Amino acid sequence: MRKLGLLALAIVAFQTPASAQQGDASSGRQAFRVCAACHSLEPDRNMTGPSLAGLWGRKAGGLASFERYSDALKSSGIIWDDRSLDSWLTDPDRMVPDNEMPFNGIKDARMRADLLAFLKEATRPGVPPQIAQQDGKGGMGGMMRGMMGAERT
Ligand code: HEC
């Protein structure tokens, strides 16, 4: 468990300077709970919505194992990246009219940036789902505080 925690920390530390939007992945993890009702982060584990594993660079409606995509999404021509995901999450219906994701969007830009910072890490191919989907209890913030506490002694 400790090893997993350190690995997760290393990933976050590595990611932070590269993230243009400065999203906070640990708040993003909380925000993702809303999505987790319909989306898993495990490859090909589809629920109401398609698995989001490997999302960046994927064609919208392009996951072969998910068979219930709307025609609207499949024919949208979107490739998922920071920008397209930001506008999808702002207002899915405006970006892809007639899509079938029952979700109104997130109007708060900060929350979207946090969510995308989390998702970008968690959906990267090769990140073990245990890390990606670890629940928020203590989570990374807790671990950080734990480590800082240890340094002081
Ligand atoms: C109530 C269920 C539900 C919720 C909640 C939900 N989604 Fe979805 N999502 C779907 C469905 C269904 C689709 C497929 C839509 C279509 O085919 O038109 C989808 C599609 C997507 C896609 C496109 C995937 C692809 O393979 O092209 C992304 C990205 C996405 N959702 C992200 C999110 C995020 C992030 C959240 C949380 C903020 C979220 N969704 C919340 C059901 C949901």
Pocket of ligand 1 (CB under 6 A): 34-35, 37-39, 48-50, 52, 55, 58, 60-61, 63, 69-70, 72-73, 80, 85, 88-89, 99-103, 106
Say if residues 23 and 118 touch (Cβ distance below 8 Å).
yes
| Mean per-residue pLDDT of the chain | 83
In this structure, what are the phi and psi dihedrals at residue 137, rounded to the nearest 5 degrees?
-55, 115
Token reading at 127:
């990140």
Say if residues 38 and 48 touch (Cβ distance below 8 Å).
yes
Region 89-110 average pLDDT: 97
Say if residues 131 and 4 touch (Cβ distance below 8 Å).
yes
What local confidence, expressed as pLDDT, does residue 131 receive? 56
Answer whether residue 127 shows pLDDT above 90: no
Answer whether residue 133 shows pLDDT above 70: no
CA distance linking residue 54 with residue 132, whole number of Å: 12
Answer whether residue 17 shows pLDDT above 70: no
Residues making up the chain, counted from first to last = 153
Token reading at 137:
């209890």
Say if residues 24 and 15 touch (Cβ distance below 8 Å).
no
